[in-house]
Structure 1
Amino acid sequence: MGWDIGGAHLKAALAEDDRVVKVWQKVTPIWKDFESLEAAVDLIDEEAGPVDRHAITMTGEVADVFTSRRQGVEKIARVMGERLSGDIRLYGGAAGFLSLGDARSNVFDIASANWHASAQHAARHIEEALFMDMGSTTTDLVPIADGKVHASKGHTDRDRLASGELVYQGYTRTALMAVAREVPFVGRTIPVMNEFFATMADVQRVIGTLDEADDLHAAADSGDKSLEGSRRRIARMIGMDTADARDGAWEWLAHAFAEAQVRAIHDAALKVLSREEITDEAPLVVAGAGRPVLKRLASRLDRGVVDFSDLIDCPSDLRDAIGRAAPASALSVLANEADS
């Protein structure tokens, strides 16, 4: 079983003989309700039945419920050790699989290493690529060359932010005030309010690209997740109500936010690609809920696309779920390979 413990979602994948046979995704906002994680782990563990080995990665240690990332790694590791049985390993990125007892001495290898698991799996199946995973809040960009992960020298969030390999732009949960400072609207440019009125889920819904299975958290106003509700929230970002303009105007406004987000990720991709570690022919391997956005980006970069699920042996009806849960799926296979 591979486990990917985020601050907002828990994802898990069960593999049998390197074939992923089941995937789970649960809402676990541990910054306000840590018990939601414990309950979700118990439920998944019960549904999975006996499991020989567990491999765990995390990003939830950055949640502000913890006073430090060290405290977060240690608590999450302790909780998982208390709730699971069998062989339990923590994934430490380039450091490989570690024991629960290694959590304290390897905090910065373990913290936020889920991107490495997905990229490492991809590197075992494709010689060169730019691996990209766009989740609900962030996007990872990792070069793969000569069948190896070519991440920047530093693997911490700080280092990855500086190198362009980590971008805080996500498919659904990113607040629109973090996407653009100003937007075009009916022929004028209007500043965007610094208020948590709407998210990218509203944008994706209005432009028609949202799969509702990717929007599991409450809307910014805790209101209805309808087309009209999303238009209302987006309109508020520029100090207006939906009655102030026609429906088409709000769709164009949503497209403006979507474009601003793609440009931010595009800039990061150009920064990573400028290191010339991969050739112009290398494709994008895309993962995460935001695969539709990443496919648009691939077109701009004039590169081919490989879906991460194509690199995983699985039933066809699990492909979307595996795309959303790439690190957990990768870990479930990597853990088996490590012990074979």
Structure 2
Amino acid sequence: MKNSNHNDIYIAWDIGGAYTKYAIEQNSQVRCYVQKCELWKNFFELKDLISRILKKFKNKKIINLITMSGEMCDIFENREIGVKKIINHFKSLKSTSYIFTKNKLFFDIKSNNFSVNNIASMNWIATSNFLANRVENCIGIDIGSTTTDIILIKNNKIINRRINDFTGLINHELLYSGILRTPIYALTHEIKYRNKKYKIIPENFANMSDIYRLLAYLKPAYDYSSTSDNRSKSNINNMKRLSRIFGFDYHSTKKDLLFMLSKKIFTIHMDHISSNIKYHLQQKYVKTKDLKIVGIGIGKFLIRLICKKNNWRYIDFNEYCTHKTVGIYQPSDIAPAYSLIPLLSNYEKNT
């Protein structure tokens, strides 16, 4: 890595199960991408995506930096097989590739000098290390399409107890709720409105993207998941999908009701995330001064609203990013992938 120069192309990959996010650095400029890539269906889509991107720079030296969570997809028998399958594909390429591990180390992918357990679903560690190098005390909240990662930094050290998804879940550091693909029944089974109960059918008739789309919180660039019925994302279709989860058919007379029920679900989602932040504040930050809550991911707008409601200090992840960025997406939208680039720079300086 010491032989790298400013003409090299760095491509930082965060390989997920439904979306692959990547950042391309060239001449100190970064462009961020979110690409639908349904690894859970087959491996071909990922191979094709990587091939198409690398071909754009076929006359340049390419350095891949890799982290992942897609190894958990059910096309793989287990996570170990998933990690090895992804790594073996990068090994087969002519470009240079480095894998990021939870020990903050980058290993040449051809060296085999790494543990699968230090790679599987460790993309959040990249973001955590990026923040720990820049913020003394913070709680980073990365809300994506399906999950929420809670990153705990104290005295510039990562204090998460999470070592895998299982420990992340039981320690309130990984929440399976996001802005787009989360089914509504994952958050609540009934709503009370005007002294009436509205039961929520536990079927995939609608998801949280319908809520945030109807309430006008979801920007088109971030509305990249498919709808539950594969129909359009118009307000009428949003309301039709939402009507189904309550057990009635859509009619124009129900517009106001659906809007108010959506606001109730929005509040439940906010409270769900708030309660987990408060848990960590009480457990780990009671005497901590100058604590910041860092908003990350396509759902960072929700963190900004939560901070305003609770009078917490909010900082956008992008404020810590020094690269010139171009394009639709920002570093905060693909934080694990973006973080690999400055982390590599720090690693090179210290080795």
**Does the TM-score normalized on the shorter chain lie above 0.5?**
yes
Taking the aligned partners of 1:208 and 1:64, their CA distance within structure 2 comes to: 34
Query: Percent same amino acid among aligned pairs?
Result: 26
Q: Secondary structure at the match of 1:242?
A: coil
Is the 1:175–1:198 Cα contact (8 Å) retained in structure 2?
yes
Taking the aligned partners of 2:343 and 2:242, their CA distance within structure 1 comes to: 42
Taking the aligned partners of 2:31 and 2:325, their CA distance within structure 1 comes to: 11
Give 1:264's aligned residue: 272
Q: 2:230 aligns with which of 222, 225, 235?
A: 222
Q: 1:57 aligns with which of 57, 67, 71?
A: 67
Q: Secondary structure at the match of 1:333?
A: helix
Is the 1:197–1:237 Cα contact (8 Å) retained in structure 2?
yes
Give 1:181's aligned residue: 189
- Higher helix fraction (1 or 2): 1
Question: Where in structure 1 are there 5+ consecutive unaligned residues?
Answer: none
Q: Secondary structure at the match of 1:57?
A: strand
Q: Relative to 1, partners in 2 of residues 1:116 and 1:48: Cα closer, same or farther, differing over 3 Å?
A: farther
Q: 1:79 aligns with which of 66, 86, 89?
A: 89
- Residues 234-253 of structure 1 aligned to structure 2 (within 5 Å): 234-243=242-251, 245-253=253-261
Is the 2:295–2:301 Cα contact (8 Å) retained in structure 1?
no
Q: Relative to 1, partners in 2 of residues 1:103 and 1:73: Cα closer, same or farther, differing over 3 Å?
A: farther
Q: CA deviation at 1:203?
A: 0.5
Runs of at least 4 residues off by over 4 Å? 101-105, 316-320
- Residues 108-187 of structure 1 aligned to structure 2 (within 5 Å): 108-152=117-161, 154-185=162-193, 187=195
Q: CA deviation at 1:122?
A: 1.3
Give 2:209's aligned residue: 201
Q: Secondary structure at the match of 2:103?
A: helix
Q: Relative to 1, partners in 2 of residues 1:297 and 1:84: Cα closer, same or farther, differing over 3 Å?
A: farther
Q: Relative to 1, partners in 2 of residues 1:104 and 1:71: Cα closer, same or farther, differing over 3 Å?
A: farther
Taking the aligned partners of 2:298 and 2:99, their CA distance within structure 1 comes to: 24
Taking the aligned partners of 1:222 and 1:81, their CA distance within structure 2 comes to: 36
Q: CA deviation at 1:20?
A: 4.4
Q: 1:301 aligns with which of 293, 296, 310?
A: 310
Question: Where in structure 2 are there 5+ consecutive unaligned residues?
Answer: 1-10
Q: Relative to 1, partners in 2 of residues 1:103 and 1:245: Cα closer, same or farther, differing over 3 Å?
A: farther
Q: CA deviation at 1:60?
A: 0.3
Is the 2:64–2:98 Cα contact (8 Å) retained in structure 1?
yes
Q: Secondary structure at the match of 2:121?
A: coil
Is the 1:24–1:44 Cα contact (8 Å) retained in structure 2?
no
Taking the aligned partners of 1:301 and 1:84, their CA distance within structure 2 comes to: 51
Taking the aligned partners of 2:108 and 2:326, their CA distance within structure 1 comes to: 33
The letter of the residue matching 1:146 is N
Q: Secondary structure at the match of 2:182?
A: coil
Is the 1:73–1:103 Cα contact (8 Å) retained in structure 2?
no
Q: CA deviation at 1:83?
A: 3.5
Structure scoring higher RCO (CA < 8 A, sep ≥ 6) equals 1
Q: CA deviation at 1:34?
A: 2.1
Q: 1:97 aligns with which of 96, 106, 111?
A: 106
Q: Which of 160-169 and 76-85 deviates more?
A: 76-85
Is the 2:13–2:23 Cα contact (8 Å) retained in structure 1?
yes
Taking the aligned partners of 1:226 and 1:84, their CA distance within structure 2 comes to: 44
Q: Relative to 1, partners in 2 of residues 1:113 and 1:303: Cα closer, same or farther, differing over 3 Å?
A: same
Q: Secondary structure at the match of 1:235?
A: helix
The letter of the residue matching 1:233 is R
Q: Which of 293-302 and 47-56 deviates more?
A: 47-56
Of structures 1 and 2, the larger Rg is shown by: 2
User: Which string of whole-angstrom CA distances, capped at 9 and with x for unpartnered residues, describes residues 250-277 of structure 1?
Assistant: 1111111111111221222122222224
Q: CA deviation at 1:315?
A: 2.9
User: Which string of whole-angstrom CA distances, capped at 9 and with x for unpartnered residues, describes residues 20-41 of structure 1?
Assistant: 4211211011111321111111
Q: CA deviation at 1:212?
A: 1.8
TM-score by length of structure 2 reads: 0.90
Taking the aligned partners of 1:163 and 1:20, their CA distance within structure 2 comes to: 37
User: Which string of whole-angstrom CA distances, capped at 9 and with x for unpartnered residues, describes residues 88-119 of structure 1?
Assistant: 11111235223325669511110111111112
The letter of the residue matching 1:177 is Y
User: Which string of whole-angstrom CA distances, capped at 9 and with x for unpartnered residues, describes residues 136-175 of structure 1?
Assistant: 00001111111222211x4111111111110001111111
The letter of the residue matching 1:176 is I
The letter of the residue matching 2:149 is D
Give 1:66's aligned residue: 76
User: Which string of whole-angstrom CA distances, capped at 9 and with x for unpartnered residues, describes residues 168-208 of structure 1?
Assistant: 01111111121211113454122210100011110011001
Q: Relative to 1, partners in 2 of residues 1:100 and 1:122: Cα closer, same or farther, differing over 3 Å?
A: same
After superposition, the CA RMSD in angstroms is 2.0
